[in-house]
Amino acid sequence: MQGKQIVRFIAFVAVAAVLYAIPQARAQFSGAANSASASSIPASALIQPDALNGLLKPDAKEKPLVLQVGSHVMFDQAHIPGAQYAGPGSTAAGIQSLESLVASLPKDKSMVLYCGCCPWNRCPNVGPAYRRLHDLGFTKVKVLYLANNFGDDWLGKGFPAVKGK
């Protein structure tokens, strides 16, 4: 019986070591809030769909740069008019693409990020993208609050969209 307990203990320690060594697994299983999750974005940095729609009207004084930081497939299906695809905020390549898009912009450029892939509290993209722009010194970054997803909270409410590529 002691031999089986030793094997189980060694297996447990090995699994624990792997989980500790992998940051994503460590965040997932630690129970701690992910500092780059959508929920980590301050309420003051959120913008509601109707407010963004108002900023995009033809007579709006200063239109923000709208960046979609989710899936390219989703962007190709439908996106906010004038939005640019920046890459998924949850990947290193997506963050690099976002950095390239904003590299020449002034730090006080008004921007709105959005994803809409899934319910807000599960979105893997807007938190890291927001955090990166904030870390780069951008001061006027908002994030479109889509409680459920882009389809329900933007398209389903009749806001304008470019459909298809």
pLDDT digits (tens, 9 = 90+) for 112-130: 999 999 999 999 999 999 9
- The model's pTM is 0.78
Q: How far is CA 83 from the centre of its chain?
A: 15
**pLDDT value at residue 19:** 40
**pLDDT value at residue 25:** 35
Residue 165 has pLDDT above 90, yes or no: no
87 or 7: which leads in pLDDT: 87
Alpha helices in the chain (DSSP H): 2-21, 23-30, 49-55, 72-77, 92-102, 126-135, 150-153
- Residue written as token pair 């060694």: 10
Counting residues of the chain whose pLDDT is more than 90, the rounded percentage is 72
Domains of the chain with bracketed CATH: 1-32 (no CATH), 38-163 (3.40.250.10)
Task: Please report, in angstroms and rounded to a whole number, the separation of the first and last CA atoms in the chain.
Answer: 64
In 3D, which of 163, 153, 147, 145 has the Cα closest to residue 41? 145
- Residue written as token pair 């599960």: 122
At residue 114, φ and ψ (nearest 5 deg) are -155, 160
CA-to-CA distance for 149 and 33, rounded, in angstroms? 21
Task: Name, in order, each residue with C-beta under 8 angstroms of 19's C-beta and a sequence gap of 6 or more.
Answer: 25, 26, 29
pLDDT digits (tens, 9 = 90+) for 73-86: 999 999 999 999 99
Q: Which of 1-10, 52-61, 142-151 has the lowest mean pLDDT?
A: 1-10
**Is residue 21 helix, strand or coil?**
helix
pLDDT digits (tens, 9 = 90+) for 17-72: 444 443 333 333 333 334 578 989 999 999 999 999 999 998 888 899 999 999 99
HSE at residue 65, side-chain half, CA atoms within 13 A, is 19
Q: How far is CA 52 from the centre of its chain?
A: 17
Task: Name, in order, each residue with C-beta under 8 angstroms of 162's C-beta and a sequence gap of 6 or more.
Answer: 78, 79, 80, 81, 83
Counting residues of the chain whose pLDDT is more than 70, the rounded percentage is 78
The token pair at 7 is 């094997």
Confidence of residue 93 (pLDDT cuts 50, 70, 90): very high
Confidence of residue 1 (pLDDT cuts 50, 70, 90): low
**pLDDT value at residue 28:** 34
